[in-house]
Amino acid sequence: MANLKEIKTRILSVKSTRQITNAMKMVSAARLRKAQDNIMQIRPYTNKLNDILRELDTNLISFKENIFFKERKPEKVLLVVVTSNRGLCGTFNSNVIKRTIQIADEKYKSENENGNLDIIAIGKKGKNLLKSKKYNVIESYIEIFDMLHFSNVLPIVKKIIENFVNNKYSVVEIVYNQFKNVAVQILIEEQFLPIVYKEKIMDRFESSIDYILEPTKEYIIEEIIPKSLQVQFYKVLLDSNASEHGARMTAMHKATDNATELIRDLQLEYNKARQASITKEILEIVGGAEALNE
């Protein structure tokens, strides 16, 4: 059994750790509220943009003729990997990185081996680990989450869209965590470009809104598609940001609970050790007294 001093030192150490994890939980909770409000506000906007796009043209053939919908052979692939800059958020980062490695090594194995797979890392954790594993990280954006505004995200997504339009990349995919609630983050791997709508979305609506279009339907579609992509990319980062704070808050809450339980066990161990020490001293005193009497 450890001596009293060692146990007391451990109790003080765990209490200090509990203070830190509890403070981090409170900070993440405060940041989560703002991040959650942002993602909840933008989702109706992105959904409405997609609804307008589908209402403008529900003809699958017409969509396929558009450059943003035209399927290409995946000769050059770009993966956009969204992680966080800091750890202590459970499996938030590791799940994204594992999935990215799986995509690179399995889905796009030949492209990766031939040097035709590039990665844009948004977040320090993804950048550092993927670079250490010798993947081709061509760009990284570390400070984007410090000032997560649409104006800061716009240059990134514009460059991605421009590279796709200029045939530098034939496929662009994004791997990130989608925010569901405080305790649940959904790992998402989605194709950003070319745009792929689900079959049920592409079906013609039974009742279509009769829009008056100026100047032409084609012109409006050409204008609204890039706008929709830009907002969609911004929503991805907002999703990841909210998921990060939710994951960290949950992880720190569990760490605080575990520290409390450990302190309780150590306190019990300390009391037992103290009781044993007192009992031993009493026995020594009694034994000494008996020896003197004899």
In DSSP terms, 205 is beta-bridged to: none
Residue for token pair 């520290």: 259
Q: What is the dihedral of CA 232, 234, 239, 241, to 10 degrees?
A: 170
Q: What residue spans define the domains of the chain?
A: 4-21+252-288, 27-246
* pTM of the predicted protein model: 0.85
Nearest to 115 by CA among 77, 89, 87: 77
* Residues 149-175, mean pLDDT to the nearest whole number: 95
Over the stretch 41-83, which tens digit does the pLDDT of each residue have? 999 998 888 777 776 655 444 555 678 888 888 889 999 999 9
Cβ(89)–Cβ(247) under 8 Å?
Answer: yes
Q: How far apart are CA 184 and CA 151, in angstroms?
A: 29
Over the stretch 119-138, which tens digit does the pLDDT of each residue have? 999 999 999 999 999 999 99
Give the CATH fold of the 27-246 domain.
Answer: Pyruvate Kinase; Chain: A, domain 1 (3.40.1380)
For helices 4-56 and 217-293, give the axis angle rounded to 10 degrees. Answer: 170
Q: What's residue 174's pLDDT?
A: 97
Mean pLDDT computed over every residue of the chain: 87
Q: How far apart are CA 101 and CA 24, in angstroms?
A: 30
In DSSP terms, 193 is beta-bridged to: 172
